Homo-oligomer: A and B are copies of this chain.
Amino acid sequence: MAAAPILARRIARSGVLPLCCRPPSWDRAPRQPPRLPLAPCRAFSNNKIQVELDESSGVAMMKFKSPPVNSLSLDFLTEFSISLEKLENDRACRGVIITSTIPKIFSSGLDIMEMCGKNMEHYGEFWRAVQEMWLRLYGSNMVTVAAVNGSSPAGGCLIALSCDYRIMAENPKFSIGLNEAQLGIVAPFWFKDTFVNVVGHRIAERSLQLGSLHPAPEALKLGLVDELVPEEKLLEKASAVMARWLALPDHARQLTKSMMRKAVLDHLVAHREEDIKNFINFISKESIQKSLRMYMEMLKKKKS
């Protein structure tokens, strides 16, 4: 995965350098004894995402904080991938809980602005960043728990699907699903593969064709999320689930996870450039551009 150069380029271009508040002496700090009254905690954040790692538990809390709707822009995706990479390489980190600071929204999915009225090179760069994010998250060695505290369409749903466990706020107004078909676009094969691995072929076939957004109770019934809890208990529950997963030895758990996900990950890695070309060709079509413009108009009218 040749992610590093792209990420470096994005950082250079955007001028956003992830701020790391980890003290220089940290690495040598003893991991024992844990559970100090105030647990030692490394934190870093950037424009879009805030991360805190509780060293005593080995659990990082990652919060999307990109108003208005945590849409997955090129910048957001880049920062997301960088954050994942940092945690992955941090031996003190064994698991990450992903949630949102924006009320009612987990993530609204891919940023349509990045797919509309831009040039081919931009589309390519954008799509590579989407792939990169998914390869890192779906293939992560860490335990990943999604605490879905708001609606989560399309790319937002993909993030949840890529985690090891999904807990959603028990609110029928929040919905989740791969609704690309509603916008006249098609979820790529690896979105589909990830979806099928969670809900099975039949539910995926129907839900993808209809571009369904499933209200939380329905999402539970379909197996799209693992459980529902009242919103105020979401993080508490996520921590409890995480503790249960971290009770297992990392090595065996990681090899098992890799065994389950390898085929689907390898499929994208083997067809990555082709997938980018397909995306560029598809999204550049005038008919698709028109669809997306209409959709954006609709969203604007809704807002005003």
By a beta-carbon cutoff of 8 Å, the part of chain A in contact with chain B is 164-165, 180-187, 189, 192, 196-202, 204-206, 208-211, 223, 226, 244-245, 248-249, 251-253, 255-257, 259-261, 287, 291
Residues from chain B with Cβ under 8 Å of A201 in the complex:
196-198, 200, 260
Bound CA–CA A111/B184 (angstroms): 42
**Are A259 and B186 also in contact (CB < 8 A) when A197-B202, A200-B202, A205-B197 are?**
yes
A169 to B208, CA, bound (A): 26
Residues of B within 8 A of A206 (CB): 164-165, 226
Considering the chains assembled together, what is the distance between the CA atoms of A186 and B206 in angstroms? 28
Bound-state CA distance A301–B260 (Å) is 34
Q: Do residues B165 and A208 form an inter-chain contact, with CB atoms below 8 A?
A: no
Main secondary structure of the interface of A (DSSP, over half): helix
- B256 A209 Cβ-Cβ under 8 A: yes
Asked whether A205 and B248 contact (CB < 8 A) given A200-B200, A255-B186, the answer is: no
Sample (24) of A-B pairs whose CB atoms are under 8 Å apart? A164-B205, A164-B206, A164-B209, A165-B206, A180-B252, A181-B252, A181-B256, A182-B248, A184-B252, A186-B256, A186-B259, A189-B259, A192-B260, A197-B202, A197-B205, A200-B200, A201-B260, A202-B223, A205-B257, A206-B226, A208-B260, A209-B248, A209-B253, A210-B244
Bound-complex Cα distance A255 to B189 (A): 11
A201: nearest chain-B partner, CB-CB: B197
| A196, closest chain B residue (CB) | B201
| CA–CA, A205 and B260, complex, Å | 6
- Chain B residue numbers with a CB within 8 Å of A192 are 259-260
Contact B291 A181, beta carbon cutoff 8 Å: no
- Taking CB as reference atom, which chain B residue is nearest A181? B252
Is the CB–CB distance between A187 and B256 below 8 Å? yes
Q: Which of chain B's residues have a CB closer than 8 A to the CB of A183?
A: 252
User: Which residues from B are CB-within-8-Å of A248?
Assistant: 181-182, 209-211
